[in-house]
Amino acid sequence: MIAFKIEVEGQDPIIAGTEDWHVLSLGLTAIRGKRGKHDHPYERVRADDFNFHAGGLSLTDASGISHHFRWKELPITIGSRVVVTVIETDSPDAPVKRYRSDKEVQEPPFTDEEMLEMRRKDYLELKKEFEGQEHG
């Protein structure tokens, strides 16, 4: 099958592919840090989060259902080199998550572990924001 071999310096490569793929996609994302209260609205802020991700959509199965799938995100930084090679393979890495792509059954796009990590990050941000403030 066709797959993408994704290599980011210093990290284990990911082989992104699945037998029933209809769409395979790759992406780079950069999210800027939050602005402070006193920042000028046009002032540049540093990028806070960079990542590389792979995912896709399956062919429709015999029941008429397609699935989204995605592999783990790879963190990158300024200067990271990402190499993608299109390969033929019989042993791709399993996606981190595979979930239905229809309106009848709504499945979450995140694993339980990912949801817990997002909640933990939210908790830490809220804790930092409200630490030392009086309640009431």
Ordered mean pLDDT values, 10 residues apiece, the chain (136 residues): 93 94 94 61 59 94 93 90 96 94 82 87 83 71
In a domain? residue 116 = no
In a domain? residue 62 = yes
Which positions ≥6 away from 93 have C-beta within 8 Å?
Answer: 14, 15, 16, 71
Q: In the chain, how many domains are there?
A: 1
In a domain? residue 8 = yes
Q: Which residues pair with 25 in a beta bridge?
A: 55
Q: Is 121 helix (H, G, I), strand (E, B) or coil?
A: helix
In a domain? residue 122 = no
The predicted model scores a pTM of 0.72
Assigned token pair, 83? 């190499």
In a domain? residue 7 = yes
Burial 42-71 (b: 16+ CB within 10 A, else e): eeeeeeeebbbbbbbbbeeeeeeeebbbbb
Assess contact for 45 and 35: CB atoms under 8 A.
yes
Per-residue model confidence (pLDDT) at position 45? 47
Which domain covers residue 100, as residue numbers? 2-106
In a domain? residue 135 = no
